[in-house]
């Protein structure tokens, strides 16, 4: 390949060679059941903590409506992503979709948003794990807040380093336990349910159903989105799926339907048993609900101790996800290539460790600047959801463009009700972006910080990495072949 042929549009390519790709090869081990476990595992922590911040933002009625909106957004988005993931079953996932549709800039902007989302999300969950552990003590010791997140990162990055097959099996087991605990908790709460408990928050300019008015619905959208955030990460396991064309759509759709059912159990039975006011103030909402109705008995300790698996499942799974997105962007040259080196078990070890270091540093930074107007976990949640929404808009735009411009591409799975499906997801994503600006000044400041980080990443691409892309990376080969074919036709 000559130097002239390496220059395509606004970017420059370098030849990676066979050895480059051999050092960056993953292993196919996951069937639909493991993918379901991974998909539910990504998200199940949203049922254990995070959603309760929506009660503070919109009351129970506001959170209910926000949950319906976000469930609609994620369901329509999953059907769109399922089609694209079978067209391009590569580890790049969202980045690969946008790369094919909008070129290197579109791919990078989407992939960067996903990396930011998936690095922040485990940091958020680590804070929630700390809150659950703090609930073990009447007077929590000081080491809990700082020590528990470090321990969580060390243990679960370590397990991910062992190998993809082992990691996915562990995620499946942990997810199964967390689902069982959630269902047992739901059965225990059901006899104590009272509709009046849902509306026990004092109205502040609204009604008992919407105590914070209609604006509370918008403000509650990020917390409602936490019920489902990260389900879109399943395509990141495409290069480790046994049969991507069949297994990915099955795993994604079944996981999404399961998550909707779990979110409704938590949303109705937690506030319905213990009251929305009590839930809105809880760092560990499921144990708090159990303690409110039956004291610190069996259900309390089940959800406090064994229930930690719900948070761990998502923490573990999203660590897997961010490592694959960083791996794909690095392998293609968008991020520093050293991040995509795999160990002798074909695991992107450097990407795993780098994401953990940045995630924990972010916890420290937010704690340092947080004036305690709202919880650190809530601020991190706002940041993760905002970054996610950027990627959703770009992915749905990619789906629309790919259908229009490349109808000839093989599509083993086709999105139902196209183009309505991706348009709904795109519009709802744009609306949800307004939430942080309504919720609180602290949330606005946190989101501005996310935007600044995003712009720094954009500057890195503009000044450096777009001149060093790797032509032999799978996501880039599509573009190189298309460019060559267009040149021949010309």
* pLDDT, tens only, 134-181: 888 878 888 888 899 999 999 989 888 877 666 667 778 888 899 999
Top-confidence residue, 247 or 129: 129
CATH number belonging to the domain at 3-489, selected among 1.20.120.550, 1.20.1740.10, 3.40.50.300, 3.50.50.60: 1.20.1740.10
The three-state secondary structure class of 242 is: coil
Residue 13, strand partner residues:
469
Q: How far is CA 202 from CA 55, 102, 104, 277, 279, in A?
A: 12, 49, 51, 9, 14
The three-state secondary structure class of 8 is: strand
Count the residues in the chain: 490
Top-confidence residue, 290 or 476: 290
Q: What is the pLDDT of residue 5?
A: 45
Q: Are 311 and 129 in contact (CB under 8 A)?
A: yes
pLDDT for residue 484 is more than 80: no
d(CA 294, CA 296): 7
- State the DSSP H helix or E strand holding residue 276, giving kind and residue range, or none if neither: helix 276-280
pTM of the predicted model as reported, rounded to 2 decimal places: 0.87
pLDDT for residue 27 is more than 80: no
pLDDT for residue 93 is more than 80: no
d(CA 271, CA 468): 53
Least confident range of 39-53, 227-241, 441-455 = 227-241
Q: What is the pLDDT of residue 28?
A: 47
Confidence class for position 1, pLDDT limits 50, 70, 90: very low
Q: What is the pLDDT of residue 4?
A: 40
* pLDDT, tens only, 339-390: 988 888 788 899 999 999 999 999 999 988 887 778 899 999 999 999 999 9
Top-confidence residue, 392 or 473: 392
Confidence class for position 91, pLDDT limits 50, 70, 90: low
Closest CA to 223 of 396, 29, 381, 12: 381
Q: What is the pLDDT of residue 346?
A: 81
Q: What is the pLDDT of residue 424?
A: 98
Q: What is the percentage of the chain residues whose pLDDT exceeds 90? A: 52
What angle is formed at CA 114 by the lines to CA 27 and CA 24, rounded to 5 degrees? 25
pLDDT for residue 324 is more than 60: yes
Domain ranges of the chain: 3-489
Report, as an integer, the average pLDDT of 114-129. Answer: 94
Report, as an integer, the average pLDDT of 101-123. Answer: 93
Mean residue pLDDT of the chain comes to 86
Burial state string for 398-411 with b = 16 or more CB within 10 A and e = fewer than 16: bbbbbbeeeeeeeb
d(CA 423, CA 418): 9
Residue 469, strand partner residues:
13
Q: What is the pLDDT of residue 165?
A: 64
Confidence class for position 18, pLDDT limits 50, 70, 90: low
pLDDT for residue 458 is more than 90: yes
Q: What is the DSSP letter of 466?
A: G
Give the relative orientation of helices 143-162 and 349-369 as an angle to the nearest 10 degrees.
Answer: 170
Q: What is the pLDDT of residue 144?
A: 86
Q: What is the percentage of the chain residues whose pLDDT exceeds 70? A: 86
Burial class (CB in 10 A: 0-12, 13-18, 19+), 177: middle
Give the relative orientation of helices 94-134 and 376-405 as an angle to the nearest 10 degrees.
Answer: 160
pLDDT for residue 420 is more than 90: yes
Least confident range of 134-138, 278-282, 286-290, 400-404 = 134-138
pLDDT for residue 227 is more than 90: yes
Q: What is the pLDDT of residue 31?
A: 61
d(CA 137, CA 159): 28
Best mean pLDDT range from 94-98, 169-173, 340-344, 422-426: 422-426
């Amino acid at each position: 390949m000559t130097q002239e042929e390496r220059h395509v549009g606004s970017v420059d390519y370098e030849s990676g060679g066979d050895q480059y790709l051999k050092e960056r090869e993953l292993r196919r081990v996951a069937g639909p059941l493991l993918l379901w476990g991974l998909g539910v595992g990504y998200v199940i922590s949203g049922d254990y903590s995070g959603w309760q911040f929506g009660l503070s933002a919109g009351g129970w009625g506001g959170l209910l409506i926000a949950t319906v909106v976000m469930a609609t957004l994620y369901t329509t988005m999953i059907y769109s992503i399922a089609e694209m993931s079978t067209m391009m079953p590569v580890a790049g996932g969202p980045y690969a979709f946008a790369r094919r549709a909008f070129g290197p800039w579109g791919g990078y902007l989407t992939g960067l948003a996903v990396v930011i989302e998936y690095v922040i999300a485990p940091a958020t969950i680590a804070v929630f794990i700390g809150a659950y552990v703090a609930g073990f003590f009447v007077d929590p010791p000081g080491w809990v807040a700082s020590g528990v997140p470090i321990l969580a990162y060390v243990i679960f990055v370590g397990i991910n380093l062992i190998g993809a097959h082992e990691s996915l099996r562990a995620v499946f087991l942990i997810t199964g336990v967390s689902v069982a605990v959630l269902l047992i908790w739901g059965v225990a709460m059901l006899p104590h349910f009272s509709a009046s408990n849902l509306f026990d928050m004092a109205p502040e300019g609204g009604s008992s159903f919407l105590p914070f008015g209609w604006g509370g619905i918008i403000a509650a959208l990020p917390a409602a989105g936490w019920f489902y955030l990260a389900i879109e990460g399943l395509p990141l396991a495409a290069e480790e799926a046994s049969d991507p064309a069949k297994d990915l759509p099955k795993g994604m759709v079944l996981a999404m339907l399961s998550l909707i059912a779990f979110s409704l159990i938590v949303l109705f039975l937690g506030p319905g048993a213990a009251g929305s006011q009590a839930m809105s103030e809880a760092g560990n909402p499921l144990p708090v609900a159990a303690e409110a109705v039956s004291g610190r008995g069996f259900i309390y300790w089940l959800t406090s101790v064994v229930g930690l698996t719900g948070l761990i499942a998502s923490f573990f799974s999203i660590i897997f996800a961010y490592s694959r997105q960083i791996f794909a962007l690095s392998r293609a040259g968008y991020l520093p290539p050293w991040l995509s080196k795999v160990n002798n078990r074909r695991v992107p070890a450097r990407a795993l460790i780098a994401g953990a270091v940045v995630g924990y540093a972010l916890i420290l930074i937010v704690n340092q600047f947080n004036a305690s107007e709202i919880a650190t976990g809530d601020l991190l949640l706002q940041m993760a959801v905002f970054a996610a929404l950027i990627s959703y808009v770009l992915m749905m735009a990619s789906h629309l463009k790919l259908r229009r411009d490349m109808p000839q591409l093989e599509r083993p799975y086709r999105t139902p009700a196209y183009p309505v499906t991706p348009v709904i997801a795109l519009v709802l994503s744009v609306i949800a972006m307004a939430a942080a600006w309504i919720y609180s000044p602290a949330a606005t400041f946190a989101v501005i910080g996310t935007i600044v980080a995003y712009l720094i990443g954009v500057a890195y691409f503009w000044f450096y990495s777009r001149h060093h892309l790797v032509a032999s990376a799978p996501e880039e080969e599509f573009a190189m072949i298309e460019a060559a074919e267009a040149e021949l036709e010309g």
